[in-house]
Amino acid sequence: MEPLVLGIESTCDETGVALVRGTELLADVTASSMDEHARFGGIVPEVASRAHLQAFLPTLTAALDKAGATLDDVDAVAVATGPGLVGSLTVGTAAAKALAVALGKPLYGVNHVIGHAVVDELVHGEFPERTMALVVSGGHTSLLLFEDSGATVTELGHTLDDAAGEAFDKVGRLLGLPYPGGPHVDRLAREGNPQAIPFPRALTAPKDMAKHRYDFSFSGLKTAVARWIEAREDAGEEIPVADVCASFADAVADVLSAKTIAACAEHGVTTLVVGGGFSANSQLRDLIAARGEAAGLDVRIPPLRFCTDNGAMIAALGSKVARTGVEASRLDVGVDSSMSLTSVTA
């Protein structure tokens, strides 16, 4: 039988514990401290760390109960050791080490961002030999090429400034929407005209493409939205909120999907996975699905509950590396807030 892997996620504000055997998910329990951060308009690292400490044991117990398992059944422990907030990572990693030592089982420190893509194996099965993944969230926007059935990861591109979700949150704040603004901007965008305002598409001009073919940039777009709103306010005009949201969302989805689909064609890859909390965005989902289909791609987007931060993504990646015989991490493995995206394990 394949090993039973316990996965622990604590990179940001979600404490997640999950159990996976092979590519089968047996339990996935998540506690979030988002409510404690909302009034600050952003994640407060110290608050997040303390919340992980309080949530870990109840989350672990709930996951074991749900899977009908005990700690003695666990064959390996996986934990996200980066990238993320140092204090938050430290809580989950310390818990994982303690469990690995107490159970006498291997410990796998794994990469959170790679987990955002590999969680799709729980839904659509193992990756083919070569897979492209776009990981988009409040913290990351990266284009990853998986080769050797996922053993080798190359980062083809990333955002040079804001992540896609972060840009949505900032535009949400400009428009006075509650934090996090992303889902609110999405909802309003559905009522607006995406062609109303010609917002810029960064890094798509020929001279930028030569240097940043697969990179993204959203901070200039956010500034363009701010300027556009200011100019209307100065003129005493009403802001057409839905049109602003729709035109902004279209600019983001257009660049993300165009560069990702071009990367698939240019690398001869026909399977595309979209992961991370921002893959909830309806403008991106619609555009990447339509353009992907037109390009003959198999576009895999896991259900939403697997896209936001959770333990299942870490257990899925832990299970993949344990299955494929990757060496376990040392027990003194450290956390790495800016872990390289080419490192699948620590």
Q: Does 12 bind ligand KG4 (CB under 6 A)?
A: yes
Query: Nearest approach, Cβ of 288 to ligand KG4 (angstroms)?
Result: 13
> Of the ranges 161-169, 205-213, 230-238, 292-300, which one interacts with ligand KG4 (CB under 6 A)?
161-169
Instruction: Print the binding letters for residues 135-164 with Zn ion: x by CB under 5 A, - otherwise.
Output: --x---------------------------
Nearer to Zn ion, 59 or 137 (CB): 137
How big is the site for Zn ion, counted in residues (CB under 5 A)? 2
For position 194 contacting ligand KG4 by CB under 6 A, the verdict is: no
CA gap 78, 321 in Å, rounded: 10
Q: Are 42 and 129 in contact (CB under 8 A)?
A: no
CB of 265 to Zn ion, least distance (A): 27
Token readout for 3 is: 């090993």
Assess 139 for contact with ligand KG4 (CB under 6 A).
Answer: yes
Dist CA 80 CA 317 (whole Å): 10
Q: How far is the CB of 279 from ligand KG4 (least distance, A)?
A: 8
The smaller minimum CB distance to ligand KG4, of residues 113 and 224, is found at 113
| Residues of this chain, 219-278, that bind ligand KG4 according to CB under 6 A | 276-278
Quote the CA–CA distance of 173 and 159 in Å, as a whole number: 21
Q: Provide the 10 A C-beta neighbour count for residue 78.
A: 34
| Position 302 contacts ligand KG4 (CB under 6 A) | no
The CA distances from residue 37 to 16, 46, 163, 175, in Å, are: 18, 10, 19, 20
Report the alpha-carbon distance of residue 119 to residue 51 in Å, rounded.
24
Distance CA 163, CA 160 (A): 9
What are the CA-CA distances from residue 63 to residues 66, 79, 85, 219, 308 (Å)?
A: 5, 15, 24, 39, 18
Contact 92, 15 (CB under 8 A): yes
With respect to ligand KG4, which residue has the nearer C-beta, 106 or 138? 138
By CB under 6 A, residue 182 contacts ligand KG4: yes
Check binding of 309 to Zn ion (CB under 5 A). Answer: yes
Binding stretches for Zn ion (CB under 5 A): 137, 309
Residues that bind ligand KG4 (CB under 6 A): 12, 137-139, 165-166, 168-169, 180, 182-183, 186, 276-278, 280-281, 308-309
